Amino acid sequence: MGELPDIPGLAALWRRTTGDDRITVAVIDGLVDEAHPALSGVKLTQLREVWPGGDEAGRKAAHGTAVASVLFGRHDGPLPGMAPGCRAVSVPVFAEGRRTSQLDLARAIDLAADAGAHIVNISGGQLSEAGEAEDVLARAVRRCTEQGVLIVAAAGNDGCLCDHVPAALHGVLAVGACDEHGKPLSISNFGPGSRRQGLLAPGQDIRVAVPGGGTATMSGTSLATPIVSGVAALLACLQLRQGSKPDLIAIGEALRASADPCDPGTAGSTSTGQNGQGAPGAACAQYLNGTLNITKAVTAVTTSPATSSATTSADATVNASVTTSCDASHPGDSGGCDCTAAQGLVPAAAPPAPVPAAVAPVSAPVASGVVPSAEPAKGGARRLVYALGTLGYDFGTEARRDTFKQLMPGRQIDDANVPANPYDPRQMVDYLRDNPSEARPLIWTMNLDLTPIYAIEPVGGYGPGVYERLVEFLDRQQRAADALDFVDRISVPGTLPGRTVKLFNGQHVPVIEINLTRGLYGWSAASLAHAVVAECAVPAHNQPGAVPQQDRLGDAVADFLQRIYYDLRNFGATSRDRALNYAATNAVQARQTLAEALGKGMALKDIETEKSPYGRPDSDCWDVKLRFFDPDNSKRAKRVYRFTIDVKDVLPVTLGPVRSWPEA
C-alpha cells in the first residue's frame, strides 16, 4: 500500500474534510518528534507532566512519531496524514528503559480523556489469556465508553488466535492489519475479542515519519490502527458539518458494521500465521469483522442517525507489561508486536537533520538502577493531584533495604533477640521516630489495593513536617480497625513534576511533590461516619424495633465513602477525579443531604461528577451530584443533591450551599 491516498475511498472523504480542530484525537504511544516536517505546524499537545518522555531519538520515540505522522501529517508536507485538521494530543507512556504496565496505560487513558479526546489511539498492548485485563485498565476503558470516547487499539502482531488488551476489551474498536488487496497480514492477531469488535485496515509498507526528519516504510497493526482512528475522526467532523453532535461510539460501531466481510471462497488463499491455520473457516477468522470500507462507513454515518451502543468490560486480572514492538521476527514477545522493522529510509525534503540508517527494532526495556528520572516536565504548568489511598513504603534496591536492616535495632521477644525486620511497619515506625532523618531515604508510596500508584516526595522548607505526618499515618494504619485513631485512607494533594521512581519490584511510578501539610489528611470510614453523625442533629423519632436514625445515617456516610474508595477509585490526576475525591474527604458537606434523604426513606443510587456550567474567573469548578431513590417505590421521583467544588488550587474547596431538586 505505502501511500495513504491510495486507500480506497479516502481521497473522496478528504475532499469533504481533512479534519476540524473541534475534534481531538489522542495518541498513547512514545514521544513524538514535533519538529518533523510532516508534523510542523500541527496543533499537537504532548502531556509530559506524568512520565518523562525518554530519549527523543530512541526507538519508542520512533514508534510514537510514526503513528502520529499517519494520523496528523500535513497535506502540504512530505507525508499526508489521515486527519491533520484535528487537534492532536500525545501521551508518551512508552519510553526507553522503562517497563510500561497496564496501570500506566490506564493512567494515560484517563489523562487523554481529561484532555478532551474524542478518540484515543493505542498502537500497543499486552497479550492476555481470555482477553482479560487488570481491573484498573478495564475501569479506564469503561469510563471512556460511558463518556462517549472511542478507543481504537491494535490487535497485535503475534499471528495467532490470541487477544491483546485493551483491544479485546468491550467497547474498544480492535484493528488488525491487511495488505493492499485486503488480505490479512500473517502477523495480525485474530483472538475472540478482536473478532467480536474488530476490523482490518491497511497496514503493509505504510510510509511514516521517523525522528530527525526522515521517512521509512513500516508494517503491522500499529500502522493500521491510526488509519481507523483517522477515519473515525473525519466521520465525526462530517457530523459536525451536518450540525449534529458527534457520536464516536456510534461511529465505531458503523465502521465495524460497514466493513467488507470475508468471502469464504477466496479466504483460503490467505497466508497463515505462525500457528498454521489454513482452513477456509480459520482464514475467515483472520478477517475479524471484515476489511475497512470508507465509502460505506461515510454513507452509514451521514445518511442515517447512528445509535450508540456503549458496553462495559468485565473486571479481571493479568500481570504483564504493555509494550510496543517493531520487530516482526519476535512475534511471541510478551508485549506483542505491533509493527515490523522499518525499511528504506528516505531523507525528507526539509533542511537535513541527522537521520538514522534504519529504525532499530524495539526490544524489551532493560532494567536499570533505582534512581529518580531527572527529566523535568516540559511546557505548561505542573499537573495537580488529589489522590486517595493507603500509605506504604519501598526501598528501591536491595542495598537500601539491607542498610535499614543493619541500622534498625533488633527486638527482644521472650528473652530472645530477634533481628530487625524493615518490612514490619511497626518496627519501621519506632525506628523513624527515633531517627527522623531516616524517613527521607525511604520511597513513600500511595497505594490502591496494595498497588503503588505514586511515590510521595516531600519538598521545600516544610518537608520535615510532611515526613512526620507520613510516619504518623503509617503508625495509625497499624491500629485496630475499631480504634478511633485508626487510619485506612489518606488524602495526598500535590503536583506532578514529570519524574518517576523505580520501585524494588521494577515498577516505575510517578512522583507527587508535596510542600505543605495542608490537605494531607488521614481517617477511617467508620470514624468519619461517626463524626458526621455526632455533628448532625438527627430526629430521634423511630418506630419500635426500627434501626435508630443515627445508625442509618452513619451507615449511609460509610457507604458513600466506600463507594468512592472501591467503585469509583481513580488516580486523582484529572479535574473530575479530584473533585470526586475531595467529596470523600469533605463528607461533612453532605451530612444534611444524607440525613434529609434517609429521613424520607431513600437510598443512594449513584454519584455523578460533571463540569459546572458556571464558575468564578480562572476557576475549575465541578458539580458532584448525589442521586437518591426509593427502594420500596420505583414510581417515586428520584432526588438529586448537588454541591460544587473548585479544584483550581492544590487543595480543592467547596462553593455555595447544597442544592436539591426532584428528578423523574
- Quote the Cα angle for 89-6-194, to 5°: 60
Instruction: Give the C-alpha separation, 28 to 63, whole Å.
Output: 11
DSSP one-letter code for 600: T
Question: Are β-strands 172-178 and 198-202 bridged in parallel, bridged antiparallel, or unpaired?
Answer: parallel
Question: Are β-strands 500-502 and 508-514 bridged in parallel, bridged antiparallel, or unpaired?
Answer: antiparallel
Angle between helices 549-562 and 591-599 (to 10 degrees): 120
Instruction: Give the C-alpha separation, 624 to 277, whole Å.
Output: 53
Asked if 222 is an active-site residue, the reply is yes
Residue in 658, 627, 618, 622 with CA at minimum distance from that of residue 642? 658
Instruction: Give the C-alpha separation, 191 to 458, whole Å.
Output: 46
DSSP-H helix ranges across 364-424:
398-407
Asked if 646 is an active-site residue, the reply is no
Asked if 186 is an active-site residue, the reply is no
For residue 128, CA distances in Å to 26, 326, 453, 644 come to: 24, 19, 22, 41
Fill in the amino acid letter for 272: T
Kindly name the residue from 36, 63, 118, 164 that is annotated as catalytic.
63
Q: HEC string of 531-582?
A: HHHHHCCCCCCCCCCCCCHHHHHHHHHHHHHHHHHHHCCCCCCCHHHHHHHH
Instruction: Give the C-alpha separation, 45 to 103, whole Å.
Output: 22
Query: What is the residue whose three cell numbers read 475497512?
Result: 292
Kindly name the residue from 222, 229, 313, 524 that is annotated as catalytic.
222
Bridge partners for 457 per DSSP: 513
List the catalytic residues. Answer: 29, 63, 222
